[in-house]
Amino acid sequence: MTRIVIVEDEIDIASVVQDYLRHSGYETAHFSDGQSALDSIVASPPDLTLLDIMLPRLDGIEVLRRAREHTAHPIIMLTARIEEVDRLLGLELGADDYVCKPFSPRELVARVRAVLRRTAPGSAPGQAPQGGAPGLVLDDVHWRASLEGTPLNLTRREFGLLQVLSRHPGRIFSRARLLELAYDDTVDVTERAIDSHVKNLRRKLGAVSPLHDWIRSVYGVGFAWEAPPQA
């Protein structure tokens, strides 16, 4: 059975989440402070952890940081504010996803499923042929990309975005982070420009492969590469 650890000091939230997960067939364990959660996670890593940030004894960021020294199992952060996500992304602590409060339990369960699917053995990002997309080929030297043998005709900016996003399937990048990673000169690039580059990139990917939405918009945060389900 898939075991999920919930670390949340607000008992009402924790018990609703626990109910939903159990009804969805998961085994759950609940901790209401950071230190006991960390002890348990390190002693016996679960299949997934839902980790609140504001916690007594040890906050969620510290739990994440220390847990990552011992285990690579998927961790979804529960954050009270969207601004926290930006801070977390900047810290690059290796969370697998972020869910902002208030969330619907149904949405949370869907995210749990998606993260478990993505991180299941055999679908690890590093094992995907190229960038978490079968059929996607990037030529870093000439800034050329093709999907399923069809050239994508990307601009240099679009290529840069594709490179960063597709090499980290599922990871959410803020616009500020994309600006830093995907653009070698940022003189004239605004965060709004990124949106239009992403839009063009989506259109070009969609022209070749219309059944899959490759780039997920994360409201108020940024974008993530969405690897297609494994055949």
Residue with Cβ nearer Ca ion (34 or 132): 34
Contact 88, 77 (CB under 8 A): yes
Beta strands in the chain, from DSSP E residues, in sequence order: 3-7, 27-31, 48-52, 75-79, 97-100, 136-139, 144-147, 150-151, 172-174, 215-218, 222-225
Residue with Cβ nearer Ca ion (52 or 226): 52
What minimum distance in Å lies between the beta carbon of 108 and Ca ion?
15
Residue with Cβ nearer Ca ion (63 or 205): 63
Residue with Cβ nearer Ca ion (23 or 81): 81
Residue with Cβ nearer Ca ion (54 or 179): 54
Q: Which residue is nearest to Ca ion (CB)?
A: 54
Beta carbons within 10 angstroms of residue 101's beta carbon: 16
Contacts of residue 77, defined as CB under 8 A and 6 or more positions apart, other chains included, come to 51, 52, 53, 60, 64, 85, 88, 95, 97, 98, 99
Residue with Cβ nearer Ca ion (12 or 184): 12
Between strands 150-151 and 144-147, the pairing is antiparallel
Sheet harboring 48-52: ordered strands across? Answer: 27-31, 3-7, 48-52, 75-79, 97-100
* Residue whose structure tokens are 């290529």: 159
Q: Which structure tokens are listed for 99?
A: 């869910």
What minimum distance in Å lies between the beta carbon of 54 and Ca ion?
4
- Cα 154 from Cα 147, distance rounded (Å): 12
Contact 100, 88 (CB under 8 A): no
What minimum distance in Å lies between the beta carbon of 57 and Ca ion?
12
What minimum distance in Å lies between the beta carbon of 6 and Ca ion?
12
What minimum distance in Å lies between the beta carbon of 131 and Ca ion?
36
Contacts to Ca ion by CB under 5 A:
9, 52, 54
Residue with Cβ nearer Ca ion (9 or 62): 9
What minimum distance in Å lies between the beta carbon of 80 and Ca ion?
7
What minimum distance in Å lies between the beta carbon of 59 and Ca ion?
9
* Residue whose structure tokens are 């999920």: 4
